[in-house]
Amino acid sequence: GQNIDQPTEMTATEGAIVQINCTYQTSGFNGLFWYQQHAGEAPTFLSYNVLDGLEEKGRFSSFLSRSKGYSYLLLKELQMKDSASYLCAVRDSNYQLIWGAGTKLIIKP
């Protein structure tokens, strides 16, 4: 079966750095996506990786290793507004999105 694993919850301190990991086992691979979802709001697209390596976008970076079936989302200079759930999703060989259950990130002052 297809599976996406990510931690259920993480806690970090304002101003610090946090890394949210995502591992996947899917039928083929056609890209990996990260979304942010604040409580009671719509998920919003953060990043897309299809080739190995690091994609940087401001305070957020996303890394992919296809050989390891692994990605992480790196958040720097954490702000209170970064408290949210972070969803990892992989597009498989049929171009279907397979979703993880999300990681709830709690930022403390």
106 binds other proteins (CB under 8 A): no
* Other residues' Cβ atoms within 10 Å of the Cβ of residue 59: 13
> Is 83 in contact with 64 (CB distance < 8 Å)?
no
Interface with other proteins (CB under 8 A), residue from 64, 87, 105, 107: 87
Interface with other proteins (CB under 8 A), residue from 16, 54, 101, 106: 101
The site for other proteins (CB under 8 A) is made up of 4, 8, 31, 33, 35, 40-45, 48, 87, 89, 91, 95-102
